[in-house]
Structure 1
């Protein structure tokens, strides 16, 4: 019994910040959903206060919203251990994520209907000054044709101080917008990008960006275009527009609503009506024709100049790509010649800089993972010893406390290299492989 009123009945699901329970409200004789805050064991008092403040902010954010597409918050109570709990409307349905796992990709029309309802809920949140920041299939609940947006746990609320710790990753990597990945300001346009990624997943059965690690996903989101949505049909142009890297190039909520509405109703989008005058031609009409001809000539000349500029730009780009490819090949060979790299090398990939190579090596993974079972001091020593054996390395320094090597983003080394190969961005950090398993890895860049 929670707060002398809510009797917990069964666990509905778990997430990064908490668990959600089905409960019975003994006072009003109704079933509700209750969210429990989960506190990581390693938190100190300051960290504990930050996590609790996040749940408090979720309650405030959701309580400000009144919309059929947003889960209603009924109450906020405190447990015997001082942790806050949020009491919410119980949505009797499953999440979009669960539906996709059970039935596979959905038809474009159905996805457009879901997207239209989630968009309507987002517009209400944005008008209230709230950015969700974690739109994904698991946070879209489906109940009798109704799509409901939930989990405002990391929402950005206008007027609230930020509660994001330095270096912390808040959000789900595959559904984080390019500006969110880059640590820039998150706006309503960011939520629309995440909505596009969610709808892409719903129609294709996979996210638009995937990778072997969180870092690989982030790099893909920040630097690449998504693969074509081959099953999206008429929804494909909408997804492509939403997943533009530049927020200014994405459609507005009004533009998106009109397009989704036409797709949800399985009708073509409304085209603008063009009215042509009738009747005999007049001298004025001939003058217009002459002017249009002159303008047309200027346009042709302009297009020719644009084509020449485009050709020059393409040629320069090809030269740069050829140069970068040659440097990348040399750097990759340098990595392949390296011996005694600590741990088990799991990833060798192209870095953000097109000519450089990024390497990840797994230092510790016990299957179930407990950082306390990993010899962090030994890992640091092995990395320092290995760097000291590289001919180009002249000095190594650990910049962060050893305890941060067990966390994400982890601990970084300052490495000074003279000559080839240049080694930089060396760090040890914790990385999720799959829930709930984690490993500690060494990451470094060559080039």
Structure 2
């Protein structure tokens, strides 16, 4: 592996992340003399559905996305032993989850600055016909004050001009919308909007709104909705947006376009 990457101009460094069927390592690009991240996927390790369905889709999707708030993929390599290497932009400042664990609940203006960037990234994805389907704090990386969305392993290409409901459960339980957990046919884009609500709550409270250790209980909690602790002093507009994002009825939940026009985000 190291010899293969070296031959392609990359000097491998430490492991900075691990997924179910992949590892992410830091590397030095000898050509550009800068650090990059390399996602290493071993095709021999993953189950057939992942290799046949999810992986080709991820490779197709990351190759077509180009947005300042999405991690850029510079190059894709494949070695003879069945390993795929995605050479990507490196976000050196951890993820949003690290940030709230370190700093606690973020002041509203700071939460808004980060959240706005994430909404822009998802708005761009949905506009390109891509649903992310695994939005969570750990997939929102930081490069200074810039948010960079990553990990399109569960992403889905949406058919142009018609709505196609999904039946696949993917993503993380704690961030999943009620309709996804219930296994009913659902709109993946509306699922992304729900996950944005979970992230906004996490930014403001430094914890997740729903406990995923008991799913039936969690579904009841989702129906009741959440309220922010009063001592945080969060504005009425922000609370209103949160309520709309975490709307249990998928049809009533706004699209990401609607979210971007909400007064809390529209007024810097």
Task: Give the Å deviation of 1:202.
Answer: 1.2
Task: Give the Å deviation of 1:34.
Answer: 0.8
Q: Deviations over 1:201-251 (max 9, x none)?
A: 1111221110424x3465346x62233112361221111110001122123
Q: What is residue 71 of structure 2 aligned with on the other side?
A: 71
Q: What is residue 143 of structure 2 aligned with on the other side?
A: 143
The answer to whether the aligner puts 1:248 opposite 2:247 as a matched pair is: no
Closer/same/farther in 2, CA of residues 169 and 73 from structure 1, 3 Å limit:
same
Cα distance between partner residues in 1 of 2:130 and 2:58: 10
The alignment's TM-score, normalised by the length of structure 1, stands at 0.52
Q: What is residue 15 of structure 2 aligned with on the other side?
A: 11
Is the 8 Å Cα contact of residues 130 and 157 (structure 1) preserved in structure 2? yes
Task: Give the Å deviation of 1:133.
Answer: 0.6
Is the 8 Å Cα contact of residues 178 and 219 (structure 2) preserved in structure 1? no
Closer/same/farther in 2, CA of residues 10 and 78 from structure 1, 3 Å limit:
same
Q: What is residue 226 of structure 1 aligned with on the other side?
A: 225
Task: Give the Å deviation of 1:169.
Answer: 4.8
The alignment covers a number of residue pairs equal to 254
Task: Give the Å deviation of 1:53.
Answer: 4.2
Say which SS state the counterpart of residue 209 (structure 2) adopts. coil
5+ long unaligned stretches in structure 1: 266-447
Say which SS state the counterpart of residue 109 (structure 1) adopts. helix
Q: Deviations over 1:385-412 (max 9, x none)?
A: xxxxxxxxxxxxxxxxxxxxxxxxxxxx
Task: Give the Å deviation of 1:103.
Answer: 1.5
Cα distance between partner residues in 1 of 2:187 and 2:41: 24
Cα distance between partner residues in 2 of 1:130 and 1:243: 21
Q: Deviations over 1:355-413 (max 9, x none)?
A: xxxxxxxxxxxxxxxxxxxxxxxxxxxxxxxxxxxxxxxxxxxxxxxxxxxxxxxxxxx
Structure whose CA Rg is larger:
1
Cα distance between partner residues in 1 of 2:113 and 2:59: 28
5+ long unaligned stretches in structure 2: none
Say which SS state the counterpart of residue 87 (structure 1) adopts. strand
Q: More displaced, 171-180 or 8-17? A: 8-17
The alignment's TM-score, normalised by the length of structure 2, stands at 0.84
Is the 8 Å Cα contact of residues 111 and 199 (structure 1) preserved in structure 2? yes
Cα distance between partner residues in 2 of 1:141 and 1:217: 30
